[in-house]
Chain A
Amino acid sequence: MVTLKTVAHRYNNLSEIIFENWQVDKTQQWLLLGESGSGKTTLLHILTGILKPSRGEVIINETSIYQLGAKKLDQFRGQHIGIIFQRPHLIKSLTITENLLLAQSLAGLPLNRTRIHEVLDSLDVASKKKAYPSELSQGQLQRVSIARAVINKPSLLIADEPTSSLDDKNTNAVLNLLLKQSELNGSTLIVATHDKRVKDAFTNTYELK
C-alpha cells in the first residue's frame, strides 16, 4: 500500500535525514512517532506528495508518486490521500458544506451532497452544515477537518499531531474517531505524533530517531 524505499532528504545542503525503509499494508493503522525536529513533518510532506525527497522513491497504491507530473500528482493527492492538520484550517469565507464541496471539486470528483451529509453525520456535526467555521467550537472544527480528509474515501489517511493540544479525554475521543473513520472508509491510517499517550492504541509504530 505505502512503500518507502531508500528515501532521504537534504535541507540547504547541510544535514541529510535518512529515513528507514517502510512498508505499510492496506487498512493497517500506524503510529509515526518522533520528537519535534526529528523530521516528522518532513516525512509527512514526503508521504503526501508535497515535498519531493532528494533521494529515494515513495509508492502509494502501486504508483511511484514523484514520477507523476505536477498536475497528476496534485490530482492523485486529492483523490487518494486525506490529510488532517494540527489545526483545522477550513476556509473562513465558506460554510462547512461549501468547504466539503470544495474538497470534492478540487479533487476532480463529482459533487455529492448525500456523501457530505453522511460523513458529517458519522462525526456528529451534521447540525452545523450551514454554519461558517467561525461559528464552531474547536472540537467541532477538528471533526469537520476530519470530515474533509475522509470525504473522498482516501486510501491513505494521514493525521499530523491531531492530539497535541488536547486533554486526555479528548485525545482518546479524537483517536477513536480517527480509527473509526479509517475503518469506515477503508483507509490506511498514519498518525504522526510526539504524544506518548497515543502509543497504546496502535500496534504498528514507525519511530524516528
Chain B
Amino acid sequence: MRSKPLSSFLNIMLVAFGTGILTILLLSSSQISEKLNKNSKDIDLVVGAKGSPLQLILSSIYYIDFPTGNIPLKDAKELSANPWVKRAVPLALGDNYNGIRIVGTDSNFVRLYDLRLQSGKFWAQDFETTIGATVAATQHLKIGDRFYGAHGLTGSSDVHKTHAYKVSGILQAQGNVTDNLILTNISSVWKMHDPAEEKEHEHTDKKEEHPEIQDKEITSLLIQYRSPMSVVMFPRMVNQSTNMQAASPAMESTRLFSLIGVGTETLQWFAVLIMLIAAISVFVNLYNSLKEKKYDLAIMRTLGASRFKLFLIVIIEGLLLTLVGTVIGIAFGHACLGLIGHFQESSQARLSGTIFLKDEIYLLIAGLGIGIFAAVIPAVQAYRSDISKILSKN
C-alpha cells in the first residue's frame, strides 16, 4: 500500500464513491419515509376537489403541491356530520408569508396533531395566528408581531395589504409539518379574499370573480374514522355520491414511493456497479503489487512466516483498502446529505446528515466483503507461491 500510493488512492476513492451513493440513498429514503409517515400518522382520509389524489395528499398533508381546487363548505359540513367520521378538520389554503403556508382551520386541527403551545395562545379572533416553532425562528416573529399574507402558495408579489395578521401564539416544535405552518381561522382566509375590500386593492383582473368567497368554500377536509370498518365504505361513498374525491394518505404514499422507487433503484444499481468496479480495481492493484512483492513475501517465508500468514497479509491489505474507502464513503454520504439539507428550499422534508442508521453496518460489512472478494485470488497466489523458484530467479 505504501509503495503504490496513487493506485491505493484510486481504490479508496472508488469504494468511497460507491458507498457514499448508497449511504445517501439509504439515509434519504429512510428519512423521507419517516417524515411522510409522521405527518400522515393520524389522518385516515383527505377529501377535496376532484383531481389527482396524489396532489390532494401532497397539498393537504405535506403542504408541498398546489391544492386541487375547492369544495363547498356545505358539502364538507355534511360529510363531517357522517356517523363514520370521528373527527373532520377543514383546511383553507391559498395564502403564504415568505413561502410559508397560511392555513385556515379550526380547533380540530390542534387536537389532530396534538399541538402544544410554547408561548401565547391559540388563534381565536379573525386575523390572529399561531405559528410553528420553525417559522418563529426563521422569520424572527414574536408574539404581537404583524405581517401581511400574499396570495398564492409561494412568492410575495400579490400582497393582501388590507388586513395584517397578528401573531398570538407560538407552537412547541412537533417534528412534523406544523413546525412550518402559520395557523389561523377559516374566516380570516375568507375575509382576506372578500371582494368588497379587495376593490380598494389594485387588482389587474377585476372581472375575475372569486367563487370561493361567494359560496363559502374550503380547500379540503382531513378525516379520522370512527372505526376501521369505514376504510372500505367511506371513500367509495364520497367518490360516488358527491362531487368531491377522497384520497387515502397511506395508499398515495405507497404509490408515490413506487414512483420514486424507479429512480432510486437505478441509482442503487449504479452504486453497486461502482462498487463492483472498485472491487476489480482493488483486485488488479493487489495482483500487480503481488508481482513486485513476491520477493518480499518469499523473504518473509525464509524468516519463518507460514504460508497462511502470507495469505492473511494480502487479505488484510485488501480489507484495509476497502475499509478505509467504506468509512470515507459513509462519512461523505452524511456530509453530502447535511449539505443538501442545508440548501434545501422546502423546509417540510428537510434532510439531515447527523442521523445514523443501523443499516449502515451492512454497508460496512459489504465493504469488507468486497475487500475479501478482491484479495482472495492474490492471497491464494501468495499462499501457493514456490519460494524456492522465486529466490533462485533473483
A and B associate in one complex? yes
Interface residues of A (CB under 8 A from B): 41-42, 45, 48, 50-51, 70-71, 74-75, 77-79, 83, 85-87, 89, 91-93, 102-103, 106-108, 148
Contact with A along B1-45 (1 / 0, CB 8 A): 011000000000000000000000000000000000000000000
Verify A71–B308 contact, CB threshold 8 A.
yes
Verify B392–A41 contact, CB threshold 8 A.
yes
Verify A50–B391 contact, CB threshold 8 A.
yes
Interface residues of B (CB under 8 A from A): 2-3, 295-296, 299-309, 387-388, 391-392, 394
- Of all chain B residues, the one with the shortest Cβ separation from A78 is B304
Nearest CB on B from A117, distance (A): 19
Tell which of B305, B307, B392 has the most Cβ of chain A within 10 Å.
Answer: B305
Verify B304–A91 contact, CB threshold 8 A.
no
* Known contacts A50-B391, A87-B394; A108 and B304 CB within 8 A of each other: yes
**Residue among B303, B306, B307 making CB contact with A102, cutoff 8 Å:** B303
Nearest CB on B from A203, distance (A): 28
For the residues of B in contact with A, the DSSP-based class is helix
Which residues of the partner chain A approach B3 to less than 8 Å between Cβ atoms? 92-93
Verify A51–B388 contact, CB threshold 8 A.
yes
Verify A91–B306 contact, CB threshold 8 A.
no
Nearest CB on A from B325, distance (A): 21
A76 to B306 alpha-carbon distance, docked (Å): 10
* Known contacts A45-B388, A50-B387, A50-B391; A77 and B302 CB within 8 A of each other: yes
**Residue among B2, B307, B394 making CB contact with A70, cutoff 8 Å:** B307
Verify B306–A74 contact, CB threshold 8 A.
yes
Verify B388–A50 contact, CB threshold 8 A.
yes
Which residues of the partner chain A approach B394 to less than 8 Å between Cβ atoms? 86-87
A75 to B301 alpha-carbon distance, docked (Å): 9
Nearest CB on A from B383, distance (A): 11
Verify A74–B307 contact, CB threshold 8 A.
yes
Which residues of the partner chain B approach A102 to less than 8 Å between Cβ atoms? 300, 303
Which residues of the partner chain A approach B306 to less than 8 Å between Cβ atoms? 70-71, 74-75
Nearest CB on A from B80, distance (A): 77
